[in-house]
Amino acid sequence: MTDNIPIRWIDGTAPAEISGGTTWGMPFARGSVPAAEALSVTDKAGSTVASQAWPLATWPDGSLKWAGIALPATSSPSEAYHVASDGGASPRGASQTPPGASSVTVTETDRALTVDTGTLQMVIERGGSTLFRSLTRGGVEVARDARLVSLLQDGISDDQGGGAGTFTRDAFTGEVTAVVLEHNGPVRAVVRLEGQHRPDGRDSGTSRYSGKESWLPFVVRFYFHANARSVRMVHSFIWDGDADRDFLAGLGVRFTVPLQAELHNRHIRMAGADGGFLTEAVRGITGLRRDPGEDVRRAQVEGRATPPLAGWNPEVSERLHLVPAWSDYTLSQLSADGFELRKRTAPGRAWVGISGGTRSAGFCSLTDTRGGLGVGVKDFWQSHPGQLDIRGAATDNATLTAWLYSPEAQPMDLRFYHDGLGQDTFEEQLEGLEITYEDYEPGFGNAHGIARTHELTLFGYDGTPATESLAADAAAASAPALLQATPEYLHSVGVFGDWDPVDRGTPARAELEDHLDFLFDFYAGQVEQRRWYGFWNYGDVMHTYDHDRHVWRYDVGGYAWDNSELSPDLWLWYSYLRSGRADIFRFAEVMTRHTGEVDVYHVGPWRGLGSRHNVQHWGCSAKQLRISTPAYRRFYYYLTADERTGDLLTELVDSDQNFLGLDPVRKVRPDAATYRPNRGALGVGLGTDWGSLAATWLTDWERTGNPRSRDRLLGTMADIGALKYGFLTGEALYDLDKGRFDTGRELIQVSHLSAVFGLVEICSELVDLVPDPDFERAWLQYCRLFLATKEEQVAAVGQPLEGIYLTQAHSRLTAYAAARLGDPDLAARAWTSFAEGGEHLNHASAFTLRQIEPPHVLLPVDEAPTVSTNDASQFGLAVIQNLALIGNHLP
């Protein structure tokens, strides 16, 4: 049984309202909870709260390891909650919903699903061109015919100064081909829609663009909670175009908003920066030469129904037809630093500028006195170029379009950024690696198959809310409130390996904690100062710094975007686990969204592989599992129960198939003259390759119980344990059909990269999770010998190990062996290696900022000249794991 586990709001205090409900994930100690149905939730006062729980993962003994838990929407959330288990006394499938509590219900027919939160009702057809047919509140239809829209342009001017060019731009609409009810209440319902964009007018023969019958496969999920007045929408799409001829010129979600009130009682609200709002009516009655009356003006400004015309000043009411109606509004955010607002009376009429600002919150609403729709786009300005359009507000059927890629921006250009520079052979490409660190290969800098996810919140209104209420909705859509277990509880149940909560109990510990804080704060500041924003970029960080130009090496081959190199994802997630800091969580969240979507291929020949660091996220020819590994994504999945991240994990289940098609070490393989991919004897590295496969199989086994994943994980663990030199073998031959290694190889080859892409973390978990003495022995041998003296290495395996670098990073291997073997001498060696090994982060001056001022830079920036992302990530992980393993031996 599990009693009264404390659950806290990640931002420290309870929000004023949870308009759409909330969901989070949490773990349980092995054997403590038999099933998710045994869980219940109480508020701070001890009262039972309606809740819904479902399994996310199980322990090998079948007990619950991770659960997703959902609470309904509420206007008075508790300051904190507690989760408990009744030890399995509840009947299987029982709902933890108090009598009389509201529920979300789903009614299914052959043609549609109707989801009712108790406040909102959405009708979703099982196919066709709409995401939903109608959204109603209180019997009033507030939106209908929601659809995905895109614009495809067949060329682009290479003269951004305005060179001539004639290009065709065609409209596409998303066509839904599958609808699945993934969760069916009573507190939370989730509906998943799949489809692709098809050209408009194809059925009537009016489509001008004959070269593309469909593109941009998408998945949309709608999330419903009991009592909710808002619906969360998560939209993911795959870019599957031809970069040389397909240029995305717009991508958005469009809603039809029925309006019936008089034009002066129709209200437009658009969020600007810092909580600001544009508040206007389609036909304004303020500022006129004649005054309609103070009560009339106040009512319009506040969004209330104005008094009947008979009560107005007749000098205004009799001339209303002479006051222009502003039917169209646009807010465009084409960069991270500026938006513009404008409006017009009708198509064919000039736009009139309204104002501008810095960073719009990405929210707008269109309502009248009967009701209407509000839409908020999360990370709107950060993911620029974005746009919000209202069209036809003076008609009975207006449209509201949330553009995720603005049609006013330059069309999306995903062509590779250089011509190859004559690098046609592996030898020439390796020479290029020596100078720009770019692993180029013709045809490999291809974006076909990368993806992107956006989150939106749809609000159904029963009138025009007060502007203060709309500002709260905009803020909630931008940074949704989230419940989480405490770091102390997460640590107590033994998940995610070697870490412990922040402890500043000694000066030495405090100094290391200060260094960790410094590095996180530095990178958070660099995101802002260096403007690491944009549609394809937001969430990633740069790899290495250029001291001479005072910039990160954004234009130098493999030194630009980091793409998970040396595991910044892990550093951030472990930093969150042990601190519980909301700012670290949100940094890790957007990195997970980016690296799992943009840096990984989701269709095509490289499906399931990621791209190594490059000027463009997809530019490097090294397509490898070390980037796509679930070791980086599973934190977010388990902590939030996010279904989209679950999709990404599922995509990788058969990722071992990739070794048959693409050898990740084809350019540097010592036996390149004879090696050919053979499904019975595939060369698979025991570091980055097997570590990624192990993370894949472990995650799938825990999530689904898949026997294939279980058997391949346990089988290859046994095989590594049976190899004469275990992990030191470096590479083993893998039988794809059997899922097993050939254990006869007697070879020693060590890489400094093997353990720095999640292998350390996964092996630590596996040793504790699954008893296998031979595997544990092999892992301890690797950990003990990697930083051992040459004499110790020779004594153990007959030869010294070559390729020993990243000493500070690998100090955690020694620390693991010290902790497991109870060896204080190894613990002392680990701390010595940590202190001496990081040439860039082993001195106090590394943790000091200096500011560079214009005119030497574009704008004032902070530098930490010896900090690079490789070093920062591995320093962070080494500190965290060494403190957890051998903190009591810290000098």
DSSP state of 513: H
| 361: exposed, middle or buried (Cβ count in 10 Å: 0-12, 13-18, 19+) | buried
Q: How far apart are CA 500 and CA 30, in angstroms?
A: 18
Which tokens is 555 given?
């234009």
What proportions of the chain, in percent to the nearest 5, are helix, strand and coil? 30, 25, 45
Q: Is-contact 399 373, C-beta < 8 A?
A: no
What would the pLDDT profile of 623-637 be if each residue is shown by its tens digit?
999 999 999 999 999
- Is the model's pLDDT at 88 over the cut of 70? no
What would the pLDDT profile of 503-551 be if each residue is shown by its tens digit?
999 999 999 999 999 999 999 999 999 999 999 999 999 999 999 999 9
What would the pLDDT profile of 370-397 be if each residue is shown by its tens digit?
999 999 999 999 999 999 999 999 999 9
What would the pLDDT profile of 597-607 be if each residue is shown by its tens digit?
999 999 999 99
Check whether the bond before 217 is cis (ω within 30° of 0). Answer: no
Rg, the chain, Cα only: 29
pTM of the model: 0.97
pLDDT band at 1, cuts 50/70/90? Answer: low
- Taking Cα atoms as reference points, which of 472, 283, 500 lies closest to residue 374? 472
DSSP state of 605: T
Alpha helices in 290-393 (DSSP H): 294-302, 314-317
On whether residue 856 sits in a domain, the answer given is no
- Is the model's pLDDT at 491 over the cut of 90? yes
Distance of CA 841 to the CA centre of its chain: 29
- Is the model's pLDDT at 95 over the cut of 60? no
As for how many domains the chain has, the answer is: 1
What would the pLDDT profile of 802-822 be if each residue is shown by its tens digit?
989 999 999 999 999 999 999
Q: How far apart are CA 332 and CA 339, in angstroms?
A: 5
Give the pLDDT of residue 760: 98
On whether residue 61 sits in a domain, the answer given is yes
- Taking Cα atoms as reference points, which of 776, 880, 887 lies closest to residue 567? 880
What would the pLDDT profile of 325-384 be if each residue is shown by its tens digit?
999 999 999 999 999 999 999 999 999 999 999 999 999 999 999 999 999 999 999 999
Distances, alpha carbon 883 to alpha carbons 510, 511, 661, 842, 877, in Å: 11, 12, 42, 16, 10
On whether residue 225 sits in a domain, the answer given is no
Q: How far apart are CA 830 and CA 786, in angstroms?
A: 11
Q: Is-contact 503 487, C-beta < 8 A?
A: no
On whether residue 405 sits in a domain, the answer given is no
| 798: exposed, middle or buried (Cβ count in 10 Å: 0-12, 13-18, 19+) | exposed
**For the chain, what percent of residues have pLDDT higher than 70?**
96
**For the chain, what percent of residues have pLDDT higher than 90?**
93
- Is the model's pLDDT at 94 over the cut of 70? no
Amino acid present at 837: G
Distances, alpha carbon 300 to alpha carbons 135, 282, 306, 369, 433, in Å: 25, 10, 6, 10, 64
What would the pLDDT profile of 456-483 be if each residue is shown by its tens digit?
999 999 999 999 999 999 999 999 999 9
On whether residue 870 sits in a domain, the answer given is no
Q: What is the mean pLDDT of the segment spanning 444-462?
A: 98
Give the pLDDT of residue 273: 98
Distances, alpha carbon 226 to alpha carbons 14, 118, 190, 643, in Å: 19, 6, 12, 19
- Is the model's pLDDT at 865 over the cut of 90? no
On whether residue 557 sits in a domain, the answer given is no
What would the pLDDT profile of 189-233 be if each residue is shown by its tens digit?
999 999 999 999 865 454 454 478 999 999 999 999 999 999 999
Distances, alpha carbon 565 to alpha carbons 545, 720, 785, 807, 837, in Å: 15, 25, 24, 17, 19
Give the pLDDT of residue 206: 46
- Is the model's pLDDT at 688 over the cut of 80? yes
Give the pLDDT of residue 3: 82
What would the pLDDT profile of 277-295 be if each residue is shown by its tens digit?
999 999 999 999 999 999 9
What angle is formed at CA 632 by the lines to CA 691 and CA 841, rounded to 5 degrees? 90
Q: How far apart are CA 347 and CA 843, in angstroms?
A: 64
- Is the model's pLDDT at 160 over the cut of 70? no
Give the pLDDT of residue 845: 86
Q: How far apart are CA 211 and CA 305, in angstroms?
A: 51
Give the pLDDT of residue 92: 43
Q: How far apart are CA 691 and CA 797, in angstroms?
A: 23
On whether residue 46 sits in a domain, the answer given is yes
Q: What is the mean pLDDT of the segment spanning 836-848?
A: 87
Domain span including residue 22: 5-85
Give the pLDDT of residue 554: 98
Give the pLDDT of residue 320: 97
Q: How far apart are CA 470 and CA 461, in angstroms?
A: 10
On whether residue 41 sits in a domain, the answer given is yes
